[in-house]
Amino acid sequence: MKNKSVIITGASRGIGEAAARKFAELGAKVLLCARSTGDIERIADEINADGGTAIALATDVAVFGQVQAAIDLAQSQFGGVDVLINNAGLLDPVSRLESSDVAAWDKVIDVNVKGVYYGMRAAVSVMKSAGGGTIITIGSGAATSALEGWSHYNTSKAAVHHLNACLHGEEGENGIRALVLSPGTVATEMQRIIKKSGVNPVSTLEWEDHRPPSVIADTLAWMCTSDADDYLGDVVRQSDPEILNRLGQS
């Protein structure tokens, strides 16, 4: 990853923050994107103070122009876009369909689905002109498991799993490496929201049951290597024994 250009959405905490720190540690130049700048500016400052290269940019992935601006900034400051991590995502509010808030449901789709599409749309031409690149989308086991109260989230994750397959089918031959990571349950703020909801079996899990974000960041870094090429166009499942074996994780 030395001197590679990496864009990470939803980089203010959790998986996004851990990934930004991991890629910077590996020598990449990192653009941290989130809707508000407070946390990503702090994280970028800490990375730079440690000898890395990082920039923070306020980015609402539900607005195509802002996603395009992130791609443009990485091009101008880092010389291109080698890796895009589509990590930004929402789950709240957890609600049964009959009582769901229409505007909130729409917002989850705007961020979780359209935000991923916007990232792919903006990055593909830049990557193709450079001979290729890697686009990783954070997916979920919820894509294939219908969970009470998560209709918006289940739907959005099923959609991006298919978007990934579409991207691979169209651009794999052009050097675009398209993969999804299904990370399982991770110790992030999202799990606190789930726990508080008391809805469906995931809310019964304890904090200690979830993987730390740093483990997921290690997997994302591995997915940028040729060792992950068996999974192009497909889903890397963090809990898969084969993946754990390859990464030396447990």
- CATH code: domain of residue 79: 3.40.50.720
39 vs 147, more confident: 39
Q: Which residues of 2-31 are buried (b: 16+ CB within 10 A; e: fewer)?
A: eebbbbbbbbbbbbbbbbbbbbbbeebbbb
Phi, psi (5° rounding) for residue 170?
Answer: -85, -35
Q: What are the distances in angstroms from CA 191 to CA 13, 39, 103, 184, 205?
A: 13, 19, 22, 11, 9
Highest mean pLDDT of the ranges 38-47, 87-96, 179-188: 38-47
pLDDT grade for 209, boundaries at 50, 70 and 90: low
Please say if 153 is a catalytic residue: yes
Asked if the model's pLDDT at residue 241 lies above 80, the reply is yes
Asked if the model's pLDDT at residue 189 lies above 90, the reply is no
Query: Residue 116: what pLDDT?
Result: 98
Q: Where are the beta strands (DSSP E) in 99-191?
A: 133-138, 176-182
- DSSP state letter for 41: H
CA-CA distance, 80 to 123, in Å (whole number)?
A: 10
Chain-wide mean pLDDT for the chain? 93
Query: Residue 203: what pLDDT?
Result: 78
Query: Residue 15: what pLDDT?
Result: 96
Q: What is the mean pLDDT of residues 190-208?
A: 76
Q: What is the pTM of this model?
A: 0.93
Rounded percentage of the chain residues whose pLDDT exceeds 90? 81
Q: What is the mean pLDDT of residues 93-118?
A: 95
In which domain, by residue range, is 90 found? 5-247
Active-site residue, selected from the candidate residues 117, 118, 153, 231: 153
Asked if the model's pLDDT at residue 214 lies above 90, the reply is yes
Asked if the model's pLDDT at residue 149 lies above 80, the reply is yes
pLDDT grade for 250, boundaries at 50, 70 and 90: low
CA-CA distance, 90 to 88, in Å (whole number)?
A: 7
Asked if the model's pLDDT at residue 200 lies above 80, the reply is no
CA-CA distance, 75 to 82, in Å (whole number)?
A: 10
Query: Residue 198: what pLDDT?
Result: 73
Least confident piece of the model among 58-72, 86-100, 183-197, 208-222: 183-197
CA-CA distance, 37 to 237, in Å (whole number)?
A: 31
Number of domains in the chain: 1
CA-CA distance, 16 to 33, in Å (whole number)?
A: 9
Query: Residue 204: what pLDDT?
Result: 77
Q: What are the distances in angstroms from CA 124 to CA 20, 73, 88, 189, 219?
A: 21, 15, 18, 31, 23
